[in-house]
């Protein structure tokens, strides 16, 4: 399913802002697209696509927020995005970050082809001159590493793992992801392959 051109434009602008992690992006996401915080129990009732996390704490970082984002207007229909934040989100000058962000949205909203094209565009910009795109394989599924982020596709979900720490690495965090219905300490198993039904 392809989104209407108006929705695609808003998504492109939003994720361009996310990519630069500016204050404006945080304000846009938190004040316009944010549909509210979820408790762990509420997130476990979410059934639109599979969710993955690192437990209620991970290597000394607490799970500080679970947020659901989406378009508030019925005239701009889209599937929601769910974000897990580990550690405190901080803003310094023009950039905001958290030690670990896990963004999850439906496969058809962010297919491998769409994300690869977007990463290639970013890599062409001067501010991303030191970013390269690498193929990765995490617990049986293929993805891409771009800077501090890994993109993975499993079942009907697209996961973007963004890690701003050096220990653990982005790859290690991706390796440690577990389904939301499992708790901290669960042994990670191979990730199911993506279900590539026509979008």
pTM: 0.80
Kindly report, residue by residue over 84-139, the tens digit of the pLDDT.
999 998 877 767 789 999 999 999 989 999 999 999 999 999 988 889 999 999 99
Residue 101 lies in a domain: yes
pLDDT over 70 (residue 41): yes
What would the DSSP string read from start to end of the chain? Answer: -PPPHHHHHHHHHHHHHHHHT-HHHHHHIIIIIEEEE--HHHHHH--SS--EE--SEETTEEEEEEEEE--SSTTS----EEEEEES--EEETTEEE-SEEEEEEEGGGS-HHHHHHHHHHHHTSGGGTT--EEEEEETTEEEEEETTEEEEEEBTEEEEEEE--SSS-HHHHHHT-EETTS-TTPPP-PPPPB-----
Residue 60 lies in a domain: yes
pLDDT-derived band at 198 (thresholds 50, 70, 90) equals confident
Q: Count the domains in the chain.
A: 1
Phi, psi of 15, deg, nearest 5:
-75, -25
Percent of the chain with pLDDT over 70: 77
Residue 188 lies in a domain: no
- Find the mean pLDDT for residues 14-19: 44
Q: What is the span of the domain harbouring residue 46?
A: 5-179
Residue 75 lies in a domain: yes
Residue 134 lies in a domain: yes
Percent of the chain with pLDDT over 90: 60
Residue 19 pLDDT: 44
Residue 190 lies in a domain: no
Kindly report, residue by residue over 176-193, the tens digit of the pLDDT.
999 999 998 888 899 999
Residue 186 pLDDT: 86
Residue 197 lies in a domain: no
Residue 187 lies in a domain: no
């Amino acid at each position: 399913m392809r989104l209407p051109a108006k929705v695609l434009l808003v998504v492109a602008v939003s994720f361009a802002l996310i990519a630069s992690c500016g204050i404006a992006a945080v304000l846009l996401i938190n004040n316009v697209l944010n549909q509210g915080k979820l408790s762990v129990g509420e997130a476990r009732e979410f059934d639109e696509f599979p969710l993955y996390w690192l437990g209620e704490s991970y290597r000394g970082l607490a799970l500080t927020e679970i947020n659901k984002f989406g378009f508030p207007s019925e005239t701009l229909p889209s599937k929601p995005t769910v974000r897990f934040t580990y550690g405190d989100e901080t803003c310094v000058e023009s950039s905001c970050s958290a030690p670990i962000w896990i963004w999850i949205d439906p496969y058809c909203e962010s297919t491998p082809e769409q994300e690869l094209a977007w990463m290639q565009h970013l890599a062409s910009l001067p501010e991303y001159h030191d970013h390269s795109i690498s193929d990765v394989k995490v617990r049986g599924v293929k993805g891409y590493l771009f800077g501090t982020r890994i993109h993975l596709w499993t079942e009907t979900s697209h996961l973007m793992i963004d890690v701003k720490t050096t220990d653990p690495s982005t790859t290690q965090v991706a390796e440690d992801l577990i389904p939301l219905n499992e708790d901290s300490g669960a042994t990670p198993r191979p990730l199911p392959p993506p279900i590539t039904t026509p979008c």
